[in-house]
A and B are shown apart, each in its own frame.
Chain A
Amino acid sequence: MPCLEVKNLTHYFGGLCAVSDFNLALETGELVGIIGPNGAGKTTVFNLITGIYRPTKGLIRFNGKNLTGLRPAAITARGIARTFQNIRLFNNLSVLDNVRIAHYAGMKYTPLEGIFQIGRFSDEEERISERSLELLERFNISELAETEARNLPYGMQRRLEIVRALATKPRLLLLDEPAAGMNPSEILKLIDFVRIIRKEFSLTIILIEHQMRLVMGVCERITVLDFGATIAEGTPEEIQNNPKVLEAYLGEEAAV
């Protein structure tokens, strides 16, 4: 059984077809890349999978269960986490709080227990704080736990966003242009980072990316989108030499 199965996914914004007949089947543990020019519909695919948009048509199945129509929070609870193209941390909250919020669904106490600080409140808070700090420690950010997220350097913010996503205990991780704005040496570090988390958290990963170095470096399979349609699929080598892909990226003349 595939981990994630997307069938005939189609989405319209008014009259504009953002994604048309998108298909994807992911085996557990795979690392697949989605590439394509700006406006090709890559982020829309993520927004559809995570429930931010409801698809006009199509089916999304995760571990055999239908996801279409669920609230984003419910989809997160089933084990899909993501990061954002433009970093969306909780800027005015501390690094630790950013990670603690990701444990929201795992907290087992009622509002009344929280308000009167009784029952499971103290133990649960302690457990979640420790778990969050251990996660931060694992990725060398625990020193900055009490810093506000907006004060972190750019690369660190990217990393924190991934750590925050990991805190929701995902089986499937969606990375939306994690290398945006990074220099070549930072990208090399990111490649290592992605490989490490994939192994350590036994994740299935979908990666949207513009940086060819990253995509070709880590992905086993690549899907290419252009104007909402899938124009190519295959291994990095196949994609690199596919004339349709070259055309989409460089224009018709160059491809000839």
Chain B
Amino acid sequence: MISGASFFLSTFAGFLTCCLIQRFKLINPYILMVIMYVGINIILTASLNLINGYMGEFSVGHAGFMAVGAYVSSILTVRVFPVQHAQWFFPLALIAGGMGAGLVGMIVAIPSFKTRGDYLAIVTLAFNMIVKSAIENIDAVGGPRGFLGMSKLTTLPWIFVWTVLTLWIIRNFIYSNYGRGVLSIREDEVASELMGVHTRRVKVLTFVISSFFAGVAGGLFAHLLQFINPNSFNILKSTDILIMVYLGGIGSIVGSIIGATIFTVLLEILRPLEVWRMVIMPLVLVFLMLFRPKGIMGFRELRLFVPEQYRKAVARWRLKRKEYDAVS
């Protein structure tokens, strides 16, 4: 994103716009709902992209982490936090949901990254099923009937803030030392380890960050729908997130935005086709894989999403050299 002041100003302007829209109901409620779904899906897509796109591993159970975040934050807002101040405790509930998901992510990641290769796909698939059946069998949270009683705390400004925050943090992470470690694992894990990258630690760290944001997205989702049940977080939901990642482009933040937007909006536009939309979406995916397997923006990034310090490192160094040469 843009540097310092202008980034801050444009974010603030966007936030104000969101507040105005929410306050004065400037947009028809249905479209508002779709926009909020797009935001949640952007968070989910960008966070999964961290593992599947940037790190080159294959995780297929992202909805499981979403479920953890959704249930943790919902239980907190309904049963723990005082109801009359619910909106003030909402961000706390979301962060707690994210941390719950992150903790579970760590428990999944530590054993599964002890081995190399494709085991992660199997482990995450199993994890997704375990979470779903576990929730179905806990009567205290409604079991298969689901959990309700949340007030509609997710509003457009909140969606905006969390989406921007997620993208900003993921961008910063990718363009840091640890992010370079993540990329080098994708490129060549053995060489990466031999260059001194503590690959296992980097993998677990990446997995935790990714599941944290899946948990936050789950919390936002729960307080938008005001009802969650285990079936909202089954393998199909995980597949949807995978589709958004590979549609928009692996290893790209702008790709995550594009993928989540196209997928969500297209599903809504195709709603009149009823069952047929479930035929059209997979077909889109098949053609995409045939003609552009990296996705629309695969491995490409808008300048906007590359930190200035990173982008101009070489130019700055050349300038410094020139000045140095001129003096001596």
Contacts and interface: CB of A to CB of B under 8 A. Distances in A.
Interface of A: 50, 52, 71-73, 76-77, 81-82, 84, 88-93, 96-97, 100-105, 107, 109, 111, 114-117, 121-122, 124-126, 128-130, 133, 145-146, 164, 168
Nearest to B187: A90
B188 A88 contact: yes
A97 B249 CA distance: 22
Nearest to B173: A115
Contacts of A116: 169, 172
Contacts of A96: 313-314
Nearest to A110: B178
A77 B197 CA distance: 10
A92 B195 contact: no
Contact of A104 (B172, B181, B188): B181
B196 A73 contact: yes
Contacts of B193: 71-73, 76
B277 to A, nearest CB: 35
Interface of B: 169, 172-173, 176-181, 183-184, 187-188, 190-199, 205, 209, 299, 307, 309-310, 313-314, 317, 320
A168 B196 contact: yes
B168 to A, nearest CB: 9
B195 A164 contact: yes
9 tightest Cβ-Cβ pairs between the two chains A and B = A114-B176, A90-B187, A105-B196, A88-B191, A107-B177, A76-B196, A129-B313, A72-B193, A102-B195
Contact of A115 (B176, B190, B309): B176
B172 A93 contact: no
B328 to A, nearest CB: 15
Nearest to B197: A104
Contacts of A91: 187-188
16 contacts: A52-B190, A73-B199, A76-B193, A76-B194, A88-B188, A89-B187, A90-B191, A90-B192, A101-B195, A104-B197, A104-B198, A105-B196, A105-B197, A111-B176, A125-B313, A128-B177
A90 B169 CA distance: 24
B313 A92 contact: no
B195 A114 contact: no
Contacts of A117: 172, 307
A121 B195 CA distance: 21
Given A88-B190, A114-B177, A121-B176, A102 B309 contact: no
Contact of A102 (B169, B196, B310, B320): B196
A245 to B, nearest CB: 30
A82, A97, A104: which has the most chain B beta carbons within 10 Å?
A104
B309 A126 contact: yes
A114 B184 contact: no
Given A89-B187, A115-B176, 8 more contacts: A73-B194, A93-B187, A96-B314, A97-B183, A114-B173, A116-B169, A168-B195, A168-B196
A84 B181 CA distance: 19
Contacts of A145: 314
B313 A101 contact: no
Contacts, number: 113
A169 B194 CA distance: 13
A202 B307 CA distance: 37
A71, A90, A128: which has the most chain B beta carbons within 10 Å?
A90
A133 B317 contact: yes
B249 to A, nearest CB: 14
A174 to B, nearest CB: 10
A168 B193 CA distance: 12
A145 B178 CA distance: 20
B177 A104 contact: yes
Given A76-B194, A102-B196, A92 B187 contact: yes
B202 to A, nearest CB: 9
B176 A104 contact: no
A114 B196 contact: no
A187 B313 CA distance: 33
Nearest to B200: A71
B150 to A, nearest CB: 29
Nearest to A145: B314
A218 B97 CA distance: 62
A72 B183 contact: no
B317 A129 contact: yes
Nearest to A161: B191
A50, A109, A125: which has the most chain B beta carbons within 10 Å?
A125
Given A71-B193, A73-B199, A101-B192, A111 B169 contact: no
Contacts of B196: 73, 76-77, 102, 104-105, 168
Nearest to A122: B309
A238 B187 CA distance: 43
Contact of B178 (A92, A114, A164): A114
Given A88-B188, A97-B180, A104 B173 contact: no
Given A72-B193, A114-B173, A116-B172, A101 B184 contact: yes
A146 B169 CA distance: 24
Given A72-B193, A82-B194, A115 B172 contact: yes
A104 B197 CA distance: 6
Contacts of A50: 194
Contacts of B195: 76, 101-102, 104, 164, 168
